Structure 1
Amino acid sequence: MTVRISHPLIYALLTAQLAGCTVGPDYVRPEAKISNEFKESKGWKQAQPRDNVLSGKWWEIFNDPRLNKLEEQVAAANQSIIQAEAQYRQAQHLVQSAQSGFFPILNLTGTTNRFRAASGQSVAVSGVRNLFGVAGAIAWEPDLWGSVSRQVEANTGSAQASAATLQALRLSSEATLADDYFQLKALDAQKALLDETVDAYSRTLQIIKNRYAVGMVAKSDVMQAETQLESVRAQAINLGVQRAKLEHAIAVLIGKTPAELSLASAPLDVQPPSIPVSLPSELLERRPDIAAAERKIAAANAQIGVAKAAYYPSLNLAVTNGFQTSTLDNLFKAASRYWALGPAGAALTVFDGGAKNAQYKQAIDGFDANVAAYRQTVLTGFQEVEDNLAALRILEEEKQVQDKAVAAANQALALTINQYQAGTISYLNVMTAQTAALSNRQTAVQLHSNRMSATVQLVKALGGGWNVAMLPSPDQAGGEVKWTDYLIFPVE
């Protein structure tokens, strides 16, 4: 049976009246610089409908079944994500550990002594004696100044930050896989282009050899054509190194060894989809890394209260009830029973060499550092969105120009070949035109790859469909508690 404990009963009963005594500052989310709009979003073509595009499975906007299948394996098998999930569970158990401070500690003690009094002592019973005892003791330290409450608050914030970090890692892994996948498809497109070029150059070489055989061209034309052909073949082979590395990287991202994954060549036929861009203020709610940084501030703020509570006196209460007798058969009789209230004590440190002051100032400094880290994370988030908005806008303009360049280079090549066959120009002109046409087509493929990469990075910069509402609540951050968790030995 699983019992969900969000507010321990003993805490509610025994510390409700002390809530006003909790020391330390209450948390207020710090402000961060936010623009009214993204600088690079002017003229941006917004996705329609805006609210239905980016979801948890954001990669489905590319409509690539093979990518979908690979992405589904990331959350289930990626070892870095599995590690982060374990670290989140660890953070949840730290919350439970802090919550245990609200409860009293119960100890059961059983003792047995067999002894003989020293000679010369005046004792009621001489010789060897036995003494048996059983006692139960309860000790409790009331949370007078909110030290335990603040520690629970701090650990809860850390657990929420861990949950957000897990989501940020998952988004990063998913984006990395998508980026690697589209780069791999771009290499396949480059390979197809080079293979097509090799076929064209081979046909051209055969024509030149035939013309050389009848004395129409010089031997140098044949050698130049062969050089150009083998150079393109070498480029096609060299792409295999980069493709293998990308395929291996994808395998690791989905928790497999490189030997377990083989991706067949596929055309780069997907186009960059339109991405919904929210307002800058909404970015704070959509990026898990920003949420993680903000939750770390909350945890650091609570630690100030923990450090401040250490200045105040602590109160310890104890109750003992048990049985003690010299004969075992009389152990649990009423005559053998005893009880004690106490010891009850209050303790106040009056001198510690400045340790508490140093710890308190350290907590404040930690808070300031986390605020700065949060604001820097926000600025970085805005930068990433602006960078990729600008990249997509500029790359779209470049694509339009590059398409014209490819068309012009192809036309120039066709004209040059005709002129060469007519004998009006040398083969060097053909080589120059071929090189220009191939270079422009390769640039077009790389440009397509860059646009896909910028699209993936924009999705990542916008949070990939995540929302701060998905962050675990303070109750959820403490995890599920079973009644067996209160036993003094582990039960699986």
Structure 2
Amino acid sequence: MPAVERTATLVVMGLLLGGCSLAPTYQTPVLAMPAAYEHTETVDTRSQLPQAWWQAFQDPVLDQLQQQLGAANPSLALAVAHYDAARAAAGEVASARAPQVGFSTGPVRQRQSDDKPLRSATQPAIYDSNTATFSLSFDLDLWGRLRNAAAAGKARAEASGDDLAAARLSLSQQLAGFYLQLRGAEAQQAILHGSIEDYRQALALTENRFRGEIASQLDVSRARHQLASAQADLDALDGRHELLRHAVAELVGAPATGFIIADAGLPALPSVPADLPSRLLQRRPDIAAAERRVFAANAGIGVARAAWFPQLSLSGLLGGQTSGGSGLLDAGNRYWALGPLAALPVFDGGRRKAAKAEAYAEFDAASAQYRATVLAAIRQVEDQLTLLRQLDAQRGHEQDAVTAARRAEQIANDRYAGGAVSYLDVVSAQTDARQAQLGLQDIQSRQLQASAALMAALGGGWSR
């Protein structure tokens, strides 16, 4: 059989065998999922989250801050750069499957030995030549080495894209959490401002009663202590508010100095849609990223196993050579070469064996990481559902405490005015009322934060 026909036959066989793959049949790691979450009394199980999940709070200021985060957050920009790099790397790996074509040209001045084994005796020993050559090489990829490498690269790029979505979701949840804490702090500031004004009036009244010899110096001291204590609480709350403002500024990519957040009240508690646990596998970008890395590791096994089999490639040359400055394309000056090349390492010091063991270990590690990610996701959802359930019950009890404390404060003030009780009873009742109001406001703020954390734990409406 002529050489050209043999080469053509090998090429056809290579293309037919190119569908072979030594990677194991891929299966997503199986993990038993619960049929339903334990505590769904405070959520809506009949609907799904929107992609812009924070819009459930119906807060225009939060919406605007989330848009700023997407446009200017440096951590998000870093995740985007990593994703772009992963896609470029995947393209680089995939390019090895295509024929590689090159071109070279240039003048050469050379000298042969006096025996001139390659030229006639009448030709000079020193001569010039010009060449122009096209080269072709194509790996037939009989065992799927390149195909599996490309599949692994693509899966890693997809995982990087999912990492980007997970980073965006995490940052959005952090921003919502800081923002809701800030609004909660503002609501508590309003309570303290009202209490401080009441305490100032109470101090003035007590001082007047003292001058009229109706109240004692002890009552005045207690009134002053109560006012100073509330002012100290407000100072601490003001400092916390500033720190939260700084945290929001950093997340949206703005300097903390002079950063202003538009005024708004504390949002209403949203209805959080909670889908079935099994939907987490499609809704959480971190789970999707972990699954893609399992796929990439599985394809990596195919690459490592293919290294044990012969690598068959096709190479060729087409060009022209002349001793003058022209005529490179003349028929008589052309040269070509075409043929297959088979290569197989005979001894590599155990490199392929180690690479194969490494590939299997990486698959085991990726599978374990996938299971860990799923379990962590389920725990995060259950944690927030439990917290919301507990806060809902706590809020009802705290509301009763506020009502009772306000009634006790009114009774104490009336009885003190009638001389039936000491000012200590008034101070105690007022302090109880203030603490109950602050406690109720804190619970409401924590409910909002838990709702945001739950929506993020559910995937924030993400889908690939």
TM-score interval for Structure 1 and Structure 2 normalised by the shorter chain? over 0.9
The match for 1:359 is 355
The match for 2:8 is none
Q: Partner letter of residue 222 of structure 2?
A: Q
The match for 2:94 is 99
Please give the alpha-carbon distance, in whole angstroms, between the structure 1 residues aligned to 2:132 and 2:144.
35
Distance 1:277 1:321, change over 3 A: same
Q: How many residues are treated as equivalent by the alignment?
A: 451
Greater alpha carbon shift after TM alignment, 123-132 vs 55-64: 123-132
5 Å matches for 1:196-211?
196-211=194-209
Distance 1:406 1:366, change over 3 A: same
Please give the alpha-carbon distance, in whole angstroms, between the structure 1 residues aligned to 2:388 and 2:13.
60
Please give the alpha-carbon distance, in whole angstroms, between the structure 1 residues aligned to 2:423 and 2:12.
95
The match for 1:113 is 108
* Residue of structure 2 aligned with 1:426, choices 401, 409, 422: 422
1:284 matches 2:263: no
Shift of 1:386: 0.8
The match for 1:213 is 211
The match for 2:244 is 246
Shift of 1:123: 3.7
5 Å matches for 1:445-456?
445-456=441-452
1:321 matches 2:318: yes
Distance 1:118 1:38, change over 3 A: closer
For residues 276-326 of structure 1, what are the alpha-carbon distances to aligned partners after superposition, in whole Å with 9 as ceiling and x for unaligned?
111111121111111111111011110000111111111232111211122
Please give the alpha-carbon distance, in whole angstroms, between the structure 1 residues aligned to 2:89 and 2:43.
46
5 Å matches for 1:292-371?
292-342=289-339, 344-371=340-367
1:383 matches 2:382: no
3-state SS of 1:138 partner: strand
1:405 matches 2:401: yes
Instruction: Work out whether residues 206 and 219 of structure 2, in 8 Å CA contact, stay in contact via their aligned partners in 1.
Output: yes
1:26 matches 2:25: yes
5 Å matches for 1:31-180?
31-41=30-40, 43-46=41-44, 50-51=46-47, 54-116=49-111, 123-126=121-124, 128-180=126-178
For residues 148-199 of structure 1, what are the alpha-carbon distances to aligned partners after superposition, in whole Å with 9 as ceiling and x for unaligned?
1101110111111111111111111111111111100011011111100000
Distance 1:16 1:62, change over 3 A: farther
Distance 1:235 1:108, change over 3 A: same
1:441 matches 2:437: yes
Distance 1:304 1:115, change over 3 A: closer
Instruction: Work out whether residues 251 and 260 of structure 1, in 8 Å CA contact, stay in contact via their aligned partners in 2.
Output: no
Q: Partner letter of residue 32 of structure 1?
A: L
Distance 1:299 1:226, change over 3 A: same
**Percent pairwise identity:** 37
For residues 190-217 of structure 1, what are the alpha-carbon distances to aligned partners after superposition, in whole Å with 9 as ceiling and x for unaligned?
1111100000000000000100111112
Q: Partner letter of residue 317 of structure 1?
A: L
Please give the alpha-carbon distance, in whole angstroms, between the structure 1 residues aligned to 2:12 and 2:77.
39
Please give the alpha-carbon distance, in whole angstroms, between the structure 1 residues aligned to 2:354 and 2:371.
26
Shift of 1:424: 2.1
Q: Partner letter of residue 100 of structure 1?
A: S
Shift of 1:238: 1.8
3-state SS of 1:110 partner: strand
Distance 1:330 1:45, change over 3 A: closer
3-state SS of 2:128 partner: strand
The match for 1:3 is none
Distance 1:267 1:109, change over 3 A: closer
Shift of 1:329: 2.8
Shift of 1:115: 4.1
TM-score by length of 1: 0.87
Please give the alpha-carbon distance, in whole angstroms, between the structure 1 residues aligned to 2:351 and 2:383.
47
Distance 1:22 1:116, change over 3 A: closer
Greater alpha carbon shift after TM alignment, 215-224 vs 205-214: 215-224
Instruction: Work out whether residues 316 and 338 of structure 2, in 8 Å CA contact, stay in contact via their aligned partners in 1.
Output: yes
Shift of 1:332: 3.0
3-state SS of 1:351 partner: coil
Shift of 1:131: 1.8
3-state SS of 1:380 partner: helix
Shift of 1:223: 1.7
Structure 1: any 5+ residue segments left out of the alignment? 1-11, 471-492
Instruction: Work out whether residues 143 and 306 of structure 2, in 8 Å CA contact, stay in contact via their aligned partners in 1.
Output: yes
3-state SS of 2:179 partner: helix
Instruction: Work out whether residues 188 and 265 of structure 1, in 8 Å CA contact, stay in contact via their aligned partners in 2.
Output: no
Greater alpha carbon shift after TM alignment, 126-135 vs 441-450: 126-135
Please give the alpha-carbon distance, in whole angstroms, between the structure 2 residues aligned to 1:331 and 1:167.
56
Shift of 1:36: 1.2
The match for 1:484 is none
1:462 matches 2:461: no
Please give the alpha-carbon distance, in whole angstroms, between the structure 2 residues aligned to 1:297 and 1:226.
66
Q: CA RMSD in A?
A: 2.0
Please give the alpha-carbon distance, in whole angstroms, between the structure 1 residues aligned to 2:253 and 2:13.
49
